[in-house]
Structure 1
Amino acid sequence: MKKSKAETAETRRRIVEVAAREFRANGIHATGLNELMAQCGLTRGGFYRHFDSKEHLVAEAFESGIATLMADLEAAARQGDESDGFRSIVARYVGAHHRDNIAGGCPLAGMGSELVRSDNDTRAVASQGIHAFVDMLATRKDGEHPDEARSDAMFALAAMIGAVTLARILVEPADSQSALQSVKAHLDAL
């Protein structure tokens, strides 16, 4: 029996959602298509009805993950003092909750080192996500010249990703927390 367009779209959405979580949690290369599709109640053969390749899925999973993250960070910025949107975003990103939520966290921190080796199309999607993230941060740098705000935002994003990545690697909880706090303090001073 043939699926409706709505059912097909829902299946694709579910595959992307599961893939986004699994790629962040386990890495792109360590996540096999058989296991991923099984989590969706599907077979590997069904994968190719939705995607041309694993790289195609990686690109869509990244795009979905960054959109979800940015929506969360935008909400954090709106909840805080309007003049402190930048700090609210930094606090939400460079925190223990984000560090501990690998599967649901930032795809740049979770997949970044593997995205470097992805195909050009996947890297182009990741680049768009990076630019959107930098733009979101730059718009929260009130009173700065746009070029300076964008430079500060690019620096902040790199520091934020690095802080979360280092904090996830460090074995000692105190060292992990110190990495987050140190970077957050420097970013708060921007």
Structure 2
Amino acid sequence: MGHSQAEKAQNRERILAAAAEQIRADGLESVSVGKLMQAVNLTHGGFYGHFESRSDLLAQALERALAEGQHNARAAVPAGRPGRLAGFVRSYLSRAHRDARQSGCAIGALASDVGRADRRSRVIMTDYIERYITSVADDLGGDDAKAIAAVSAMVGALAIARVITDPARSDAILKAVKDHVTAMQPDGPA
């Protein structure tokens, strides 16, 4: 008995959503096709009706995770708002974001994994990093060099804060970078 196209699309979405959440929480290499398919109540054999390979799944899950992170960032601090960068930095370098690895920024969660991944995954993340830098540069009066420094500091601070086991020290890292990047805004902190 065949499945409808709508049902197939829903199943594919379930697989991608679960894989995107898992890679943000546990890294690219954490995905086992068999366990993933079991988690979404589908057969292992049905996987290849949705994806060419595990590598194809990982690239598409990475794209999904990055797109969700970008959407969440835009929703948190709408474009065109005065002090947008300061608001974004406060949100990005917050305890809540640090502690929400499975739903937070995929760049911060996966940059080192993707640095070792295949070219397709690196190209996908490169595009999102470039968009991130461009967005921050817009808030910094078009200063690309400052934007590169700000994005690198924020992503690095988030990644390091997630590693540090002492909550007070982790918070101090977030605060130090938050203060520094917020001060980069042409009008100063908002």
Taking structure 1 as the reference length, the TM-score comes to 0.90
Query: Quick one: distance in 1 between partners of 2:151 and 2:44?
Result: 36
Match of 1:118, SS state, is: coil
Counterpart amino acid of 2:151?
L
Letter in 1 for 2:31: T
2:95 is aligned to 96
Over aligned residues, Cα RMSD in angstroms?
1.6
Name 1:154's counterpart in structure 2.
148
Q: SS where residue 50 of structure 2 aligns? A: coil
Structure 2 residues not aligned, in runs of 5+: 185-190
Name the SS of the counterpart of 1:78 in structure 2. coil
* Corresponding residue for residue 188 of structure 2: none
* Residue 167 in structure 1 maps to residue 165 in structure 2: no
1:103 CA displacement: 0.6
How many pairs align?
A: 184
Q: In structure 2, how many angstroms separate the alpha carbons of the residues matched to 1:84 and 1:126?
A: 27
SS at match of 2:3: coil
Within 2, Cα distance between the matches of 1:62 and 1:131?
Answer: 16
| Paired residue secondary structure (1:7) | helix
1:187 aligns with 2:186: no
1:139: how far off? Answer: 2.3
Alignment partners' CA distance in 2, 1:6 and 1:131:
34
Instruction: Find the residue that maps to 2:49 and give its secondary structure.
Output: coil
Give the Å deviation of 1:65.
1.4
Structure 2 match to 1:43? 43
TM-score, normalised to structure 2, is 0.90
Could you say which residue in structure 2 is the equivalent of 1:28?
28
Check conservation: 2:22, 2:30, Cα contact below 8 A.
no
Segment of structure 1 superposing worse, 36-45 or 81-90: 81-90
Residues 40-83 of structure 1: CA distance to partner in whole angstroms, max 9, x if unpaired? 1112221111111222112211211121111221122229x812
**2:47 partner amino acid:** F
Deviation at 1:166, TM superposition (A): 0.8
Deviation (angstroms), 1:135: 2.0
Shift, 1:95, TM fit:
0.6
Structure 2 equivalent of residue 137 of structure 1: 136
Contact 1:59 1:126 in 2 (8 A): no
Residue 57 of structure 1 corresponds to 57
Is 1:56–1:122's contact at 8 Å kept on the other side of the alignment?
no
Partner SS, residue 48 of structure 1: helix
- Which blocks of at least 5 consecutive residues in structure 1 are unaligned? none
